[in-house]
Amino acid sequence: MNTLLKNCHVISPGYDAENVAVLIEGEKIRQLFTAGSALPEADEIIDAEGKMVVPGFIDVHCHGRSGFDFTDAAQEAMDTIAVDKLREGVTTLLPTTLTLNEEQLAASLETAAAYVKSGKKGCKVPGVHLEGPFINPNCLGAQNPAYVRLPDIEEVRRLAKIFPVTKVSYAVEVEGGGRFASQLLAEGITPSCVHSAAKYSEFKAAAENGLRNLSHFCNQMTGLHHRDIGLVGAGLAEKEVFIELICDTLHICPDMIKLLFDLKNTEKIQLITDAMRAAGMPDGEYSIGGLPVIVADGAARLKSNGALAGSTLEVCTALKNVFEITGRPLAELIKTTSWNQAQALGLERLGRIEPGYFADIVVLSDDFKPLKVFVNGELRLEA
């Protein structure tokens, strides 16, 4: 079966053109037809009505939404998160864990495996992201101190037998942290640093072992200082390092967002949500990792000390925020929502609207709200 998506304002990395038609054949994009071209016949023709048409978003750091957390280890939680992430334009998702015991982590991964096996019509889930438990106990944020432990590649291997582990975020300065990056890479897993008090020299030791990623940049990591530039300095100084940004204007203020886009190559920036179960939900009382959370005006904070406890951000809103704050062309900014993630994780044929790429496509309103979402060429959401 083929589908023709016509009258598109296509925005893809380095490409911005109106009145384009996109021919989808099976799971992939077959051809683009520019303005004035004769259009082919198709089994189905859908009019995008001149709206923005962008590559499906990839959220590599998301704990939950719609009242559920991935580590609830309940099938309803996994299924609901993966389906409801379509509402924000996400077509590929890495469900993200918390600092918990191995039994709870294993149970969560089992739900991801069952979701993929079921064939439910939500996001693609190529693997999971382990955030913790190998973090610095002095940089907890909203992670549970009861389950913090040292890096253990054998534990990661056991978990990966249940369901692929695509990424692990940990503290590079803890015992064994430097070589842990190379151990993860040997398993085909992307290492990243966060919840860390690392000095720049400690980051460099991990970088020599292949670490090229910093999770929720600026948050729960050593800041820029004139005697030691820390992890924030590392993210700016090291050109090959990817940085993840939670652009809700709360975790990072607008001035800092603009500064980072001015200083860092856009191709090394990834927009993430770090969303918890309150995303897509009203303000109120929630929890994360067993810790009580109060959400007020969309900000999620631990009830005990007011620390930020993830976000309620959606990817479409993050893109809108960055566009309004930086004023940069969308053909540049759109790299940060999927292409860069695909490059950082080695996900092939994702993140562009080009022939041969998977037809993971989002039609956005002028206000950046998803109107239609295609996954592997299949229309899975229509607002």
pLDDT tens for each residue of 78-106:
999 999 999 999 999 999 999 999 999 99
pLDDT tens for each residue of 158-186:
999 999 999 999 999 999 999 999 999 99
pLDDT tens for each residue of 181-233:
999 999 999 999 999 999 999 999 999 999 999 999 999 999 999 999 999 99
Residue 56 has pLDDT above 90, yes or no: yes
Residue 142 has pLDDT above 90, yes or no: no
Pair of tokens at residue 115:
């979701």
Q: Which residues are catalytic?
A: 274
Q: What is the CATH number of the domain that holds 38?
A: 2.30.40.10
**How many other CB atoms are there within 10 angstroms of residue 253's CB atom?**
12
What are the residues whose beta carbons fall under 8 Å from the beta carbon of 321, sequence distance 6 or more?
Answer: 247, 248, 249, 254, 257
- Say if CB 363 and CB 39 are below 8 A apart: no
If pLDDT is split at 50, 70 and 90, which confidence band does 144 have? confident
How many structural domains compose the chain?
A: 2
Q: Answer yes or no: do 47 and 64 share one domain.
A: no
Q: Answer yes or no: do 219 and 358 share one domain.
A: no
Q: Which 3-state string (H, E, C) describes the chain? A: CEEEEEEEEEEECCEEEEEEEEEEECCEEEEEECCCCCCCCCCEEEECCCCEEEECEEEEEECEECCEEHHHCCHHHHHHHHHHHHHHCEEEEEEECCCCCHHHHHHHHHHHHHHHHHCCCCCECCCEEEECCCCCCCCCCCCCHHHCCCCCHHHHHHHHHHCCEEEEEECCCCCCHHHHHHHHHHCCCEEEECCCCCCHHHHHHHHHCCCCEECCCCCCCCCCCCCCCHHHHHHHHCCCCEEEEECCCCCCCHHHHHHHHHHCCHHHEEEECCECCCCCCCCEEEEECCEEEEEECCEEEECCCCCECCECCCHHHHHHHHHHHHCCCHHHHHHHHCHHHHHHHCCCCCCCCCCCCECCEEEECCCCCEEEEEECCEEEEEC
In this structure, are strands 52-55 and 361-364 parallel, antiparallel, or unpaired?
antiparallel
Q: Answer yes or no: do 134 and 108 share one domain.
A: yes
Q: What is the mean pLDDT of the segment spanning 318-330?
A: 98
Q: Answer yes or no: do 33 and 19 share one domain.
A: yes
**How many other CB atoms are there within 10 angstroms of residue 105's CB atom?**
26
Supply the pLDDT for residue 84: 98
* Length of the chain (residues): 383
Supply the pLDDT for residue 291: 86
Amino acid at 275: A
Q: Answer yes or no: do 75 and 214 share one domain.
A: yes
Amino acid at 138: N
The helix-helix angle for 153-162 and 177-186 (nearest 10°) equals 30
Expressed as residue numbers, the domain containing 363 is 2-54+353-382
Cα dihedral 229/235/239/244 (nearest 10): 180
Q: Answer yes or no: do 10 and 118 share one domain.
A: no
Q: Answer yes or no: do 26 and 159 share one domain.
A: no
| Alpha carbon distance 116, 288 (integer Å) | 24
Q: Answer yes or no: do 93 and 190 share one domain.
A: yes
- Say if CB 257 and CB 325 are below 8 A apart: yes
Q: What is the CATH number of the domain that holds 309?
A: 3.20.20.140
Q: What is the mean pLDDT of the segment spanning 324-337?
A: 98
Residue 243 has pLDDT above 90, yes or no: yes
Q: What is the mean pLDDT of the segment spanning 293-311?
A: 93
pLDDT tens for each residue of 19-39:
999 999 999 999 999 998 999
Q: Answer yes or no: do 160 and 41 share one domain.
A: no
What are the residues whose beta carbons fall under 8 Å from the beta carbon of 156, sequence distance 6 or more?
Answer: 130, 165, 168, 184, 187, 189
If pLDDT is split at 50, 70 and 90, which confidence band does 110 have? very high
Q: Answer yes or no: do 197 and 298 share one domain.
A: yes
Q: Answer yes or no: do 72 and 49 share one domain.
A: no
**Exposed / middle / buried, residue 171 (Cβ in 10 Å: 0-12, 13-18, 19+):** buried
**How many other CB atoms are there within 10 angstroms of residue 29's CB atom?**
25
- Say if CB 70 and CB 84 are below 8 A apart: no
Q: Answer yes or no: do 108 and 220 share one domain.
A: yes
